[in-house]
Amino acid sequence: MIYTVTFNPSLDYVMRVKGFEANGVNRTYEDFIVAGGKGVNVSIMLRHLGHENTALGFIAGFTGDEIVRQLREEGCHESFVRLEKGYSRINVKLKSNGETEINAQGPVITDTAMSQLYKQLDALKNSDTLVLSGSIPKGLPETTYRDIMERLKGRDIRIIVDATQDLLMNVLDLKPFLIKPNHHELESVFNTKFTTESDIIDAARQLQAKGAQNVLVSRAGDGAVLVDANGDVRTSAVPKGKLVNSVGSGDSMVAGFLAGYIESDGQYDKALAMGVAAGSASAFEEWLANREQVEALLEKE
């Protein structure tokens, strides 16, 4: 079974406004609300690609109820820990002249709630896959993902980490199966600007040398770079299409890579192709793409 963990799931309130003006009244011409958070997006996209999975993490309040409702509507399993206080965050995604995001903080996760999550993770079986994705709320240590991996060390569990800064760097020596920074996050890790694909490949190799088995770097319109566990470098351009919504495209790439890896019995070229197609297909749609849309892009390669 595949499990995703989202510490800070959300409802994403997407609003489209013509000619947004700050300090004035703006009216939308389109708006909708979807369940979000990086792990939640991975769960939904995996389901769209035909792969059963269970979403774990924390929810609270009426917004948490809606996140659960939408996940179930998508056919996803969930086993969230419900927090007694607060509510799951609402993030605003404003589409006008470009994209602006306002992301809320989220509820406080208590020690009791963390213990409940740890109990769920301790029950994972050998050959399961765990996706740790996204930020963590205030109050939790930057070693949180590492703490989870330490508990599972020595077991045959494939772990994917999609996080930034210390959350990511703290887990590398525990040899996660896959990490997926985007190029901006990679620049932040190394505190430098990368001007060439070669620079990105060198940086990915450095992360691999620290322990990551596979390093997948998403590069938005410039495609993706994979340094795989065999030391081989693979690159992929993105299919042509109109950018509609970039939110969730990186999460779709993670889901697509995992789906492609499973379906091809571990062929990295197939995994990369499916990952790039899934990420691109979601970027070309209002929300997360379906299997048919992903396969349509695969056929164009």
Q: 61 — alpha (psi -120 to 50), left (phi > 0) or beta?
A: left
Q: Which of 157, 203, 164, 158 is nearest to 181 (CA)?
A: 164
Q: What is the structure's pLDDT at 211?
A: 96
Longest Cα separation, the chain:
57
What is the per-residue burial (b if ≥16 Cβ within 10 Å, else e) of 173-194? ebebbbbbbbbebbbebeeeeb
Are 246 and 266 in contact by the 8 Å Cβ rule? The answer is no
Secondary element (H or E) of residue 95: strand 89-96
Secondary element (H or E) of residue 234: strand 233-236
Are 185 and 146 in contact by the 8 Å Cβ rule? The answer is no
Distance of CA 101 to the CA centre of its chain: 16
Catalytic annotation present for 122: no
Phi and psi at 218, nearest 5°, equal -85, 140
* Residue from 12, 128, 228, 251 carrying the catalytic annotation: 251
Secondary element (H or E) of residue 12: strand 10-17
pLDDT string in tens for the chain (301-residue length): 999 999 999 999 999 999 898 899 999 999 999 999 999 999 999 999 999 999 999 999 999 999 999 999 999 999 999 999 999 999 998 988 888 889 898 899 999 999 999 999 999 999 999 999 998 888 899 999 999 999 999 899 999 999 988 999 999 999 999 999 988 998 988 888 988 999 999 999 999 999 999 999 998 878 899 999 999 999 998 888 888 777 788 999 999 999 999 999 999 999 999 999 999 999 998 889 999 999 999 887 6
C-alpha 65/C-alpha 160 separation (Å) is: 27
Task: Identify the CATH number of the domain defined by range 1-19+29-140.
Answer: 3.40.1190.20
C-alpha 56/C-alpha 163 separation (Å) is: 16
Residue type at position 297: L
- Predicted structure pTM score: 0.92
Are 276 and 224 in contact by the 8 Å Cβ rule? The answer is yes
Q: What is the structure's pLDDT at 301?
A: 65
Residue count (the chain): 301
Residue ranges per domain, the chain?
1-19+29-140
C-alpha 205/C-alpha 211 separation (Å) is: 10
C-alpha 23/C-alpha 14 separation (Å) is: 19
Neighbours of 36 (CB within 10 A): 31
How far the first Cα of the chain sits from its last, in Å, is 30
Are 216 and 179 in contact by the 8 Å Cβ rule? The answer is yes
Query: Which residues fall within 8 angstroms of residue 222, CB to CB, at 6 or more apart?
Result: 183, 197, 237, 238
Are 73 and 35 in contact by the 8 Å Cβ rule? The answer is no
Q: What are the distances in angstroms from CA 83 to CA 8, 132, 141, 189, 196?
A: 12, 19, 18, 32, 45
C-alpha 76/C-alpha 2 separation (Å) is: 11
